């Protein structure tokens, strides 16, 4: 999960990485209030969890409170990569003499932590890595190692930090590394690290991405108001609902409700639907070994989503058992009812038991099953996907 | 012949007294897997499915000569559990749990490399050598002994691929769940090379997905292999920046798109497949 | 430096090592006040920085507030190994089913951190190590390693912790190890770790010794009121004065004021005086490269100590320079004046300069030097020590 | 011949621009020590006593081929400084500062052992090979080239012993200040063995003191040595539990009493000396 700039700058401050004094505002009037008391030009930065903010016009400069209010209003009405701007960060405008890049990230291929530095800051580091690999300097460390000041200082020297600032910049790099280690980060970046005209180093922009699976160790984040979220963009209301129910779920822009078992086939099934000419309305995964209640809730999410025209169900019981799955589906059918056509396939662990349960329930309440086409291991999953695409097409009346 | 495990593997289960541990121990035993015991700190002396429980791996290994361990524990305990197994001399470890913190896995990997041990996972369905050993949570129904190896980041994909191979008569030599986490105990290239060295394996189906770099890292190995490699990649139509179920399945920046992975693998000589049905057709064409 | 039991128990509590609820009292009336509100028998433990408290009668049990007051009064009048008892720790008396030992210490010979555990708690672990080495279990770790729970659990098992408490005891051991690492400790001990009749584990006594040279890293200690002190016993007023002046100094029970250069000869010179039949009044070291002011203060400490009959001076200039040394002595002679006989030897770095300064000062103010016998490299230091013993004897009028 | 350093040693100084660093660089140079440069982060490009200053040890080694480093820095920076030198390939490091935290020295030792480097100190007066190299803060006046090696935990004791050896005509091969801290970069046995292997050294004077275990650890080496060892131990009359100047000079519990140390060393074949004047007499008796 990615942090907002204002959140990651708070972490920077906690780790003694120099940042500007700043304010966060949710309305243009708040912006006016802050800027009124600031001497000098200010920069207004839209807070969004996506890249390319600068190019998209999400950063504006202003002289004085009035201009700031006007520009903030513009920002707060913008969408960047489709994501609404809900807040604006206000800082004094820096006088830039030079920009550097410093980052710490995972080198997953080699199972290392790598510190990356470049004399070319403020630009896309991945682009620099491709176009000018000679301008990028790295230091790889095993997870058990510390970053020593002499190594940090050598990096600082290589990227051309002026000599009087070498020691200070080495500590900035070390502190960034400490932040990375302390918060189980996947990526922390200062881009750019600005050298101002009066020879101060300041982290002008910041990026922090944390390992979702380690957030439980960092209770202070919650105290800071930092909640689990996507790497890019905030959760939609339905995603938030699913998250609270413990269901990995994403809204997509199609009309086929995806009700698969397993994240892997959740991803692949999404492709299959596209291959066969359809578009999924969502991604979903049941999580490992779901209880019947969770299965039922998965169907609620789909059935109540007005975009969904037909449902593609697939269950290959592994750690998740077909009997629990069947129990969940039946629970949903009885308590909620299915209003959309569904085609599904079920096999895997305890499939016989699952089939038996479906048959019994159907004998009891055949009307609950009228929208369901049921298949077992004998039908390739591709056929099921094709049928779901057909059903959605029919439903759309095409 | 098989890779990683067979009917002679002496398998222990870490977390054997937990709900999932108990359930799957029973299932693995029912399949014929040679389960010899397990651990649960503070519960040494009990038994599960007739197998002895120990407080520590060292004690279990001493008493049972276990040489493989399957971990069924909450994710936050996997780091210590895997390191415990490695230090106790276990050379093959299957880490079933999902959501293992990335930094934890870096520690595990470091210990494993040092001890020349193989760790599979986290977030894996396990490893299956049909007819011999079922380590993890894979459903028996999909599998039959045969001549194609599979390695996948996803459990469900493993099942669908095996299901397809079984239905079409190829069967599987060994099926390896690499795991869905962002940092894994083993990489595609390491498993591919084990298949290359396995006589029984005539072809390998490799199923990757968006996120991470492990598919990309396999290209050199694929180039060197004589055994043909078929490649599927999930997530061609995945949205960027959104974690798709697996912690590892997320396109971050320009890293980890499915399209690029498939292109790179094809360039290295792998045979790309779009759907499962492409697999038997490709195998037939290759004369496997 | 060693912490008081009540201080180390506070650290234990911070590190989630189970300790009893406790009160610290400086007067017997305070003890009365606390015990009045406690149900059950209490234990009163004298707080002293020395071992063998139990054998010396420094631990007493009491039923009710009146008995507690009486016994506390006794404790607060005691001396243990010569150290006054200034405060008493009050806890509920534990019902002891079994006692264990757990400690973490340095293995200096092998440059390791070693975790030690034994099923024989509440006794001298060094004695157990000699008499029953088979009852002691150890785990050695390099400074870069962590203690894993499985290793802690194996130790707990070996010393016979009951199975239902294995996991809990493993975490006690791990937390003790974390405390050791976090505070740059030399030794941390739970002795005994008590298993109570109702099957609870409690750290009944605690010992924490920290590395004086790393205390600067642990500012929270000062906030807890934990000041630098000896490994055994508190500082005397003169030692405290010297400490504040930055001078390593110890009060001893003889009458020869020791004014050496260098800790090594400070220690050895103390032996020499004994060999030649004298007794030093102190240990002193100038510390590396002392400024003249510090040299002068060293002499002030000796001259104002009524126990000192004669002064033994030795300076072998290394990082400390003879010219600075001479400057300091002259400063003292002029500003304070020497009231006791002193014999001294000076050589080493810049000795010529030092001698020249003494000669000039003496020419100017010969009266300041009347108590000083001065030697250079030509006289063996043993002769100087002998002379100091003689001077003290003369001064005592023997 | 000498141990650890001689006139060919290429010596650098870490912390060369500081007060003590500058002063002693000047002194060491005046003695004839082959100082080639030094470091001070952020001050690269300056000179001290005509010798170049670098920001990092790596740069200094590259430019000067330094193979020995003397550290003059505040104690809290010694850990990183020593590790920096070790990683830059320096094989002999003299850590002058006192009050280096114990845990820091454990890290340094671990790096040194891994790299097969020798670290002396902390809290050492340095190492002196009379007439060839003076590394540290020892006063020239005490020393003269000769045939007796010395190794001591104390600077002042080193001077008194050398003074005695010089006055009585034996002179010194090399004088090593082991250091007064509780955990030291090198131990008595390691230095004793270097003397054993040095042709020029006909006897060794070893001066220990209360505290720690390094004297005790030397017994096995002393037993193996052909070169005679004379032993002095300071602190026979030291009070327990009180740190005597040196952080390492403290009797803790039953550990580290002078009496026991002297007895153990004598039992191993060392010749005990009470005062400095005993040294030349013992040497004469031994025919050195």
CA dist C101 → C114, C126, C281 (Å): 14, 11, 39
Among the partner-chain residues B42, B57, B83, the one whose CB lies closest to the CB of C166 is: B42
Question: What tokens were used for B24?
Answer: 């799957």
Q: Does the pLDDT value for residue C31 go beyond 80?
A: yes
Single out the residue of B39, B112, B132 nearest to residue B77, CA to CA. B39
User: In the complex, which subunits touch A with 3 or more CB pairs below 8 angstroms?
Assistant: B, D
Q: Does the pLDDT value for residue D141 go beyond 80?
A: yes
Structural domains present in chain B: 11-121 (3.40.50.720), 139-286 (3.40.50.261)
Interface of A to D at Cβ within 8 Å reads 148-150, 153-154, 157, 163-164, 166-167, 170
Query: Measured between alpha carbons, how far is B182 from D11 in angstroms, rounded to an integer?
Result: 48
Q: At what angle do helices C322-335 and C351-364 cross, to 10 degrees?
A: 20
Residue C382: band (very low, low, confident or very high) from pLDDT cuts 50, 70, 90: very high
Residues from chain C that touch B83, judged by Cβ atoms under 8 A, are 148
The dihedral over CA atoms of C219, C220, C224, C225, expressed in degrees to the nearest 10, equals: 0
Q: Of the residues B24, B99, B103, B246, which is catalytic?
A: B246
Residue B29: band (very low, low, confident or very high) from pLDDT cuts 50, 70, 90: very high
Tens of pLDDT, residues A214-255: 999 999 999 988 887 877 888 899 999 998 998 999 999 999
Total CB pairs under 8 A between chain A and D: 31
Helix (DSSP H) and strand (DSSP E) numbers for chain D = 9, 14
User: Percent helix, strand and coil across chain A, each rounded to 5?
Assistant: 40, 25, 35
Mark C79-96 as b/e (b = at least 16 C-beta within 10 Å).
ebbebebebbbbbbebee
> Rg of the Cα trace of chain C?
26
Among the partner-chain residues A150, A164, A170, the one whose CB lies closest to the CB of D57 is: A150
Mean pLDDT of the C275-282 span: 96
Sign of the dihedral defined by the CA atoms of residues C314, C318, C319, C322, in that order: positive
Please report which helix (H) or strand (E) contains residue B231, including its range: strand B229-234
What's the DSSP call for residue D123?
S
- Chain C residue with minimum CA distance to B39: C150
> Rg of the Cα trace of chain B?
18
B11: β partners: B35, B68
- Chain A residue with minimum CA distance to D77: A149
Structural domains present in chain A: 21-92 (3.30.1490.20), 96-223 (3.30.470.20), 237-396 (3.40.50.261)
Residue C234: band (very low, low, confident or very high) from pLDDT cuts 50, 70, 90: confident
Q: Does the pLDDT value for residue D223 go beyond 70?
A: yes
Tens of pLDDT, residues D25-48: 999 999 999 999 999 999 999 999
Give the mean pLDDT of chain A: 93
The dihedral over CA atoms of C214, C219, C220, C223, expressed in degrees to the nearest 10, equals: 130
Single out the residue of B23, B43, B44, B26 nearest to residue B35, CA to CA. B26
Residue A132: band (very low, low, confident or very high) from pLDDT cuts 50, 70, 90: very high
A376 alpha carbon, distance to own chain's centre: 35
Residue D1: band (very low, low, confident or very high) from pLDDT cuts 50, 70, 90: low
- C244 burial via Cβ count (<10 Å: 0-12, 13-18, 19+): exposed
Contact D80 A148 (CB under 8 A): yes
Looking only at the bridges linking them, the beta strands covering C136-141 and C185-196 are: unpaired
Tens of pLDDT, residues A53-85: 888 999 999 999 999 999 999 999 999 988 899
Residue keyed to tokens 């550290």: D71
ipTM confidence = 0.91
Mark A54-85 as b/e (b = at least 16 C-beta within 10 Å).
eebebbbebeebebbbebbeebbeeebbebeb
Question: What tokens were used for D165?
Answer: 């050896």
Tens of pLDDT, residues C122-168: 888 888 888 999 999 999 999 999 999 999 999 999 999 999 999 99
Query: Measured between alpha carbons, how far is C13 from A217 in angstroms, rounded to an integer?
Result: 21
Neighbours of B237 (CB within 10 A): 20
Q: Does the pLDDT value for residue B1 go beyond 70?
A: no
Cis omega (within 30 of 0) on the bond before A192? yes
Tens of pLDDT, residues A274-288: 999 999 999 999 876
Residues from chain A that touch D40, judged by Cβ atoms under 8 A, are none
With vertex at residue D172, the alpha carbon angle to CA D169 and CA D177, rounded to the nearest 5 degrees, is: 140
Query: Measured between alpha carbons, how far is D69 from D140 in angstroms, rounded to an integer?
Result: 20
Q: Which of D177, D237, D273 to mutate to test the interface with C (most CBs of C within 10 A)?
A: D237
Contact C264 D239 (CB under 8 A): no
Reported residue count of chain B is: 288
From the CA of B95, how many Å to the nearest CA of chain C? 17
Q: Does the pLDDT value for residue B252 go beyond 80?
A: no
> Rg of the Cα trace of chain D?
18
Say what the pLDDT of residue A123 is: 85
pTM score = 0.92
Question: What tokens were used for B270?
Answer: 């792998």
Query: Measured between alpha carbons, how far is D194 from D208 in angstroms, rounded to an integer?
Result: 17
Q: Does the pLDDT value for residue D253 go beyond 80?
A: no
Residues from chain D that touch C318, judged by Cβ atoms under 8 A, are 125, 137-139, 155-156, 159
Q: In this predicted model, which residue has the larger pLDDT, A196 or C319? A: A196
Q: Which of D136, D245, D262, D273 to mutate to test the interface with C (most CBs of C within 10 A)?
A: D245
Q: Does the pLDDT value for residue A319 go beyond 80?
A: no
Give the mean pLDDT of chain D: 95
With vertex at residue A376, the alpha carbon angle to CA A372 and CA A381, rounded to the nearest 5 degrees, is: 85
Give the mean pLDDT of chain B: 95
From the CA of D11, how many Å to the nearest CA of chain C? 19
Answer whether B42 touches C (CB < 8 Å): yes
Tens of pLDDT, residues C289-302: 778 999 999 999 99
Query: Measured between alpha carbons, how far is A276 from A37 in angstroms, rounded to an integer?
Result: 60
With vertex at residue D243, the alpha carbon angle to CA D239 and CA D246, rounded to the nearest 5 degrees, is: 125
Query: Measured between alpha carbons, how far is B216 from C120 in angstroms, rounded to an integer?
Result: 58
Q: At what angle do helices B57-64 and C149-158 cross, to 10 degrees?
A: 70
Mean pLDDT of the A357-380 span: 93
Q: In this predicted model, which residue has the larger pLDDT, B120 or C320? A: B120
CA dist C136 → B56, C129, C209, D269 (Å): 20, 6, 21, 32
Tens of pLDDT, residues C324-347: 999 999 999 999 999 999 999 999
Q: Of the residues A101, A171, A183, A249, which is catalytic?
A: A101
End-to-end CA separation in angstroms for chain A: 40
From the CA of D56, how many Å to the nearest CA of chain A? 6
Residue keyed to tokens 């420094």: C58
Q: Which of A80, A81, A103, A108 to mutate to test the interface with B (most CBs of B within 10 A)?
A: A108
Among the partner-chain residues D58, D80, D83, the one whose CB lies closest to the CB of A154 is: D58
Say what the pLDDT of residue D245 is: 80
Single out the residue of C74, C69, C118 nearest to residue C90, CA to CA. C69
D11 alpha carbon, distance to own chain's centre: 15
Contact of C284 with C260, CB cutoff 8 Å: yes
Query: Measured between alpha carbons, how far is C342 from A369 in angstroms, rounded to an integer?
Result: 110
With vertex at residue A319, the alpha carbon angle to CA A313 and CA A325, rounded to the nearest 5 degrees, is: 40
Looking only at the bridges linking them, the beta strands covering A185-196 and B126-129 are: unpaired
Catalytic residues of C: 101, 189
Total CB pairs under 8 A between chain C and D: 212
Say what the pLDDT of residue C398 is: 62
- Spell out the SS3 assignment of C95-157: CEEEEEEEEEEEECCCCEEEEEEECCCCCCHHHHHHHCHHHEEEEEECCCCCCCHHHHHHHHH
Query: Measured between alpha carbons, how far is D59 from A49 in angstroms, rounded to an integer?
Result: 42
Query: Measured between alpha carbons, how far is C242 from C248 in angstroms, rounded to an integer?
Result: 7
């Amino acid at each position: 999960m990615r942090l907002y700039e204002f959140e990651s700058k708070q972490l920077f401050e906690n780790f003694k990485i120099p940042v500007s004094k700043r304010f966060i505002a949710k309305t243009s009037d708040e912006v006016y209030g802050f800027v009124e008391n600031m001497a000098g030009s200010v920069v207004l930065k839209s807070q969004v969890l996506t890249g390319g903010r600068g190019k998209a016009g999400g950063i504006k400069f202003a002289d004085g409170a009035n201009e700031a209010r006007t520009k903030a209003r513009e920002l707060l009405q913008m969408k960047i990569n489709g994501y609404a701007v809900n807040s604006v960060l206000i800082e004094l405008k820096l006088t830039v003499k030079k920009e550097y890049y410093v980052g710490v990230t995972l080198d997953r291929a080699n199972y290392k932590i790598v510190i990356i530095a470049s004399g070319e800051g403020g630009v896309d580091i991945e682009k620099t890595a491709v176009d000018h690999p000679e301008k990028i300097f790295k230091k790889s460390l095993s997870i058990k190692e510390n970053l020593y000041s002499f190594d940090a200082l050598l990096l600082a020297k290589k990227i051309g930090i002026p000599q009087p600032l070498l020691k200070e910049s080495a500590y900035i790099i070390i502190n960034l590394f400490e932040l990375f280690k302390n918060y189980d980060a996947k990526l922390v970046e200062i881009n750019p690290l600005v050298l101002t005209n009066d020879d101060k180093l300041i982290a002008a922009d910041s990026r922090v991405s944390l390992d979702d699976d380690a957030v439980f160790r960092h209770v202070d984040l919650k105290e800071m108001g930092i909640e689990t979220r996507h790497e890019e963009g905030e959760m939609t209301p339905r995603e938030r609902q699913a998250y609270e129910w413990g269901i990995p779920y994403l809204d997509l822009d199609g009309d086929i409700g995806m009700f698969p078992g397993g994240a892997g086939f959740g991803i692949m099934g999404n492709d299959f639907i596209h291959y066969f000419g359809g578009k999924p309305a969502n991604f979903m995964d049941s999580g490992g070994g779901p209880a019947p209640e969770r299965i039922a809730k998965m169907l609620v999410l789909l059935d109540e989503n007005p975009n969904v025209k037909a449902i593609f169900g697939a269950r290959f019981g592994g750690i998740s058992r077909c009997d629990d799955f069947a129990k969940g589906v039946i629970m949903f059918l009885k308590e909620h009812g299915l209003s959309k056509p569904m085609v599904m396939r079920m096999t895997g662990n305890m499939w016989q038991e699952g089939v038996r349960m479906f048959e019994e329930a159907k004998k009891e309440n055949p009307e609950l099953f009228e929208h369901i086409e049921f298949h077992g291991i004998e039908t390739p999953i591709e056929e099921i996907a094709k049928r779901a695409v057909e059903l959605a097409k029919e439903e759309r009346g095409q | 012949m098989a890779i990683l495990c067979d009917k002679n593997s002496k398998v222990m289960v870490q977390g054997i007294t937990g709900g999932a541990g108990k359930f799957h121990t029973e299932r693995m035993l029912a399949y014929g897997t040679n389960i010899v015991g397990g651990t649960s700190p503070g519960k040494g002396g009990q038994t599960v499915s007739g197998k002895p429980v120990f407080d520590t791996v060292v004690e279990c290994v001493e008493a049972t000569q276990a040489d493989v361990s399957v971990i069924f524990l909450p994710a936050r305990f996997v780091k210590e559990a895997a390191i415990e197994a490695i230090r106790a001399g276990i050379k093959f470890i299957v880490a079933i749990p999902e959501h293992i913190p990335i930094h934890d896995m870096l520690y595990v990997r470091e210990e494993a490399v040092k001890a020349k041990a193989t760790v599979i996972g986290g977030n894996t369905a396990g490893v299956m050598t049909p007819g011999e050993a079922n380590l993890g949570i894979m459903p028996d129904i999909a599998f039959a002994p045969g001549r194609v190896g599979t390695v996948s980041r996803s459990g469900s994909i493993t099942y669908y691929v095996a299901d397809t191979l079984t239905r079409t008569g190829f069967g599987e030599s060994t099926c390896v769940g690499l795991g869905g986490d962002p940092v894994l105990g083993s990489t595609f290239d390491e498993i591919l090379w084990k298949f290359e060295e396995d006589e029984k394996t005539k072809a390998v189906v490799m199923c990757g997905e968006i996120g991470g770099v492990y598919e990309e890292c396999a290209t050199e190995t694929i180039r060197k292999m004589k055994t043909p490699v078929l490649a599927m990649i999930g997530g061609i139509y995945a949205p960027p920046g959104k974690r798709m179920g697996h912690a590892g399945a997320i396109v971050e920046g320009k890293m980890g798109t499915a399209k690029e992975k498939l292109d790179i693998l094809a360039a290295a000589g792998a045979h790309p497949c779009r759907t499962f049905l492409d697999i038997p057709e490709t195998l037939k064409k290759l004369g496997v």
